[in-house]
Amino acid sequence: MAATVGIVGVGLVGSAAAYAIALSGIAGRIVLVDHVPALAQAQAEDIAHAVPFASATQVEAGDYDRLAGAEVVIIAAGVNQKPGETRIALLSRNAAVFASVVGEVRRVAPDAILLVATNPVDVMTEITTRLSGLPPGRVIGSGTILDTARFRSLLGRHLGISPQSVHAYVLGEHGDSEVLAWSTARAGSVGIRDFAAQVGAAITDQVRAEIDDGVRRAAYRIIAGKGATNYGIGAGLMRLTRAVLRDEGAVLSVSIHTPLVAGVRDVALSIPRVVNRRGVTADLMPDLDAAETEALHRSARLLADLAAEVRL
C-alpha cells in the first residue's frame, strides 16, 4: 500500500515539504494538519493542483485523526525567526507548541517515524524524544541536513563540480555554533585541498571564511530578504522522508538524541547517520582534527545545557 506522510504545521516550511514530497511521488497520500484548519485546507488544495503535472499523490487536510496509519509525520509547527533573531530565541514558544502536538501525533500514529523541523531543531528533537517516549532513532531532527546542502553547494561552485560529488558535512547544532568539517571534506574520493590545487581553485583563508559565512549566516540573510527560508528545508525534508519510505540506508547529517558525543552526554545534534525505514540505525562519526573536535564539544555542550533547562 502506498505510504501516508503527515505534516503538522503547514506554514512556509510544512507546505514546502508537502510540495516537494507531492512532486517527488514518494508518498501515496499526504495529510496536512494545522491549528488553523483553513490554512491546511488551502495549502492542500493548492498543492493538489500541482500533482497532475508530476505524480498521483493524494493531498488532503484534516484533523489529527487523519494521520492514522502514517509511516512518517513531519512536525514543522511553531514560530519562525524574525530578521536578526536566533533560532534559540524560539525555544520556549516552540516547546509550548510541542507539548500539545507530540502527544496528539503519538496517539493517532504510534508507529510513525517523527521528523522534526521546528527550530531550534536540535533541542526540539530532544524534547520530542522525551515527550514521545520513542527510541531515539525514530525521532529525527532535520538538523544540519540543510547546512550540509549549503556547504556542498558552495564548495561545488568554488571547485566547479556538482554538489552531489562533494562529500562534506556540517556537524553539531543547526545554528550559530555548527561545525563545518573541512578536514574530512572530499571531492569524489580526493581530499578537498588536493583537488582544489589540481583545478587551480585553492581554498585560501579568505575562501574558507566566505564559505563558512555563506553556510552559517545563510538563514539570517534569506530571512532578511524574504522573511523566512522554506525551499531548501522543504527539499531536505523530502530527501529525509524518501530515505525512510524507500528504506534507503542513506547517509544524511541529521539530529537525534545521542548518548555520548564529543565528550557530552545525552544531547541531540547532527553527525552523518544512516537513515532507513526503521529511522536512524547507525552513526558515521568523521575523524575530525583537534579544532573541529573542540568546536563540536562546545556546540554539544550548548545544546545539552539548553535542553536541560526545558521543563515539560
Ligand X SMILES: NC(=O)C1=CN([C@@H]2O[C@H](COP(=O)(O)OP(=O)(O)OC[C@H]3O[C@@H](n4cnc5c(N)ncnc54)[C@H](O)[C@@H]3O)[C@@H](O)[C@H]2O)C=CC1
DSSP codes of every residue in 247-301: T--EEEEEEEEEEEETTEEEEEEEEEEEEETTEEEEE------HHHHHHHHHHHH
| Closest distance of CB 130 from ligand X, Å | 18
Contact between 145 and ligand CC(=O)C(=O)O (CB under 6 A)? no
Identify whether 174 is a catalytic site residue.
yes
Between CA 103 and CA 89 the distance in angstroms is 24
| H runs (alpha helix) in the chain | 12-24, 37-48, 91-108, 121-132, 145-159, 192-198, 205-216, 218-226, 231-245, 290-309
Please tell me the distance from the alpha carbon of residue 281 to that of residue 149, in angstroms, as a whole number.
Answer: 22
> What gap in Å lies between CA 60 and CA 218, rounded to an integer?
32
Sign of CA dihedral 3, 33, 240, 268: negative
CB of 219: closest distance to ligand CC(=O)C(=O)O in angstroms? 3
Residues 81-110 close enough to bind ligand CC(=O)C(=O)O by CB under 6 A: 81, 87
> Which is nearer to ligand X, 14 or 172 (by Cβ)?
14
The sign of the dihedral angle between the CA atoms of 8, 10, 13, 19 is positive
- Residue 149, contacted partner among ligand X, ligand CC(=O)C(=O)O, none, CB below 5-8 A by kind: none
Residue 62: CB minimum distance to ligand CC(=O)C(=O)O, A: 27
Q: Give the footprint of ligand X on residues 144-183 (CB under 6 A).
A: 146, 174
The yes or no reply on residue 299 touching ligand X (CB under 6 A) is no
The answer to whether 216 contacts ligand CC(=O)C(=O)O (rule: CB under 6 A) is: no
Bind-site residues:
9-14, 34, 64, 78-79, 81, 87, 94, 100, 117-122, 142, 147-150, 152, 167, 229
Q: Are 231 and 11 in contact (CB under 8 A)?
A: no
Question: Which residues define the annotated binding site for beta-D-fructose 1,6-bisphosphate?
Answer: 152, 167
Question: Looking at 30, 44, 91, 119, which residue binds ligand X (CB under 6 A)?
Answer: 119
Stretch that binds ligand X, among 118-126, 161-169, 293-301, 303-311 (CB under 6 A): 118-126
Residues 6-45 that bind ligand X (CB under 6 A): 8-14, 34-36, 39
Q: Using the rule CB under 6 A, is 224 a contact of ligand X?
A: no
From the list 4, 57, 94, 119, which residue makes contact with ligand CC(=O)C(=O)O (rule: CB under 6 A)? 119
d(CA 301, CA 173): 10
Nearest to 117 by CA among 259, 228, 3: 228
- 3 state DSSP class of 189: coil
The phi and psi torsions of 170 (rounded to 5 degrees) equal: -105, 135
Catalytic residue among 35, 158, 174, 257: 174
Catalytically annotated residues:
174
Which residues bind to ligand X, rule: CB under 6 A? 8-14, 34-36, 39, 76-81, 90, 94, 97, 100-101, 117-119, 121, 142, 146, 174, 228-230, 233
